[in-house]
Amino acid sequence: MNEDFRPSLMQFAHEMLLLSIGENRKSDPHSVESLYQKHPDLNIKAGAFLTIYIQGGLRGCLGELEPNQSLGRVVSKLAFKVPQNDFRFKPVVPDEIAGLTFKLSILSFTVPVGNPNQIRLGQHGLIAEYQNRRGVFLPDVPIEQGWNLDQYLSGLRHKARIQPGIPWSEIQLTCFTTLLLNSVDYPFNP
């Protein structure tokens, strides 16, 4: 993926977040089309997660695991969903925009994990699936939480509501990596 599209992608995500929250009257939610022309990398199909913070505290995180849509469309959709639709939090309001930062995680394809000891903290995001339950952690979660591998796996089980007695051999465990973009690294145009 070409690096020179990153500032434009982050600017686009920022504008879509502001539009979603009700503060950006000049952006067109369909302006992804103009980005496609400038940056063909946005046409690739990729999963992504968008994590937003207000004053440094987590305020929402949603994502698309499957690479079924173009990256530009996924980012646009997430920018509208995350501030308003993460059931764990109240919707973000315009007064909170001054403290808004965000991370965009672009996902690789998933790979089955044969042995949990192959997992690298900070490098591998995880998906655990058992029956109709699923839990997902991005690669930076164990680092942010100060977890070791056992705590990472235990936290994933808990998130997926998988009982501790179920052996890992019965759980579908896959990993992925991400290209992590942080809004604090990109100055935004007004």
The larger pLDDT score, comparing residue 29 to residue 148, is at: 148
Confidence band, pLDDT 50/70/90 cuts, at residue 30? low
Residue 73 CA to residue 106 CA, distance in Å, equals 13
Residue 67 CA to residue 45 CA, distance in Å, equals 5
Q: Which of 16-30, 43-57, 119-133, 149-163 has the lowest mean pLDDT?
A: 16-30
Confidence band, pLDDT 50/70/90 cuts, at residue 6? confident
Q: Report which residue type is found at 168.
A: W
Q: Tell the residue number behind the tokens 């990256």, with chain if given.
A: 71
The larger pLDDT score, comparing residue 139 to residue 3, is at: 139
Angle CA(92)–CA(98)–CA(102) in degrees, nearest 5?
65
Q: Give the pLDDT confidence score for residue 27 in this predicted structure.
A: 52
The tokens describing 158, both together, are: 């808990």
Q: Give the pLDDT confidence score for residue 34 in this predicted structure.
A: 67
> Residues 121-173: pLDDT tens digits?
999 999 999 999 999 999 999 999 999 999 999 999 999 999 999 999 999 99
**pLDDT exceeding 90 applies to what percent of the chain?**
65
Q: Report the DSSP pairing between strands 125-130 and 172-176.
A: antiparallel
CB under 8 Å to 57, separation ≥6 — which residues? none
Does residue 34 contact residue 18 with C-beta atoms inside 8 Å?
no
> Residues 82-108: pLDDT tens digits?
999 999 999 999 999 889 999 999 999
Alpha helices in the chain (DSSP H): 6-21, 32-38, 71-85, 141-145, 149-160
Domains located in the chain, CATH noted: 3-107 (3.30.700.20), 111-176 (3.30.1490.150)
| Average pLDDT of span 69-77 | 89
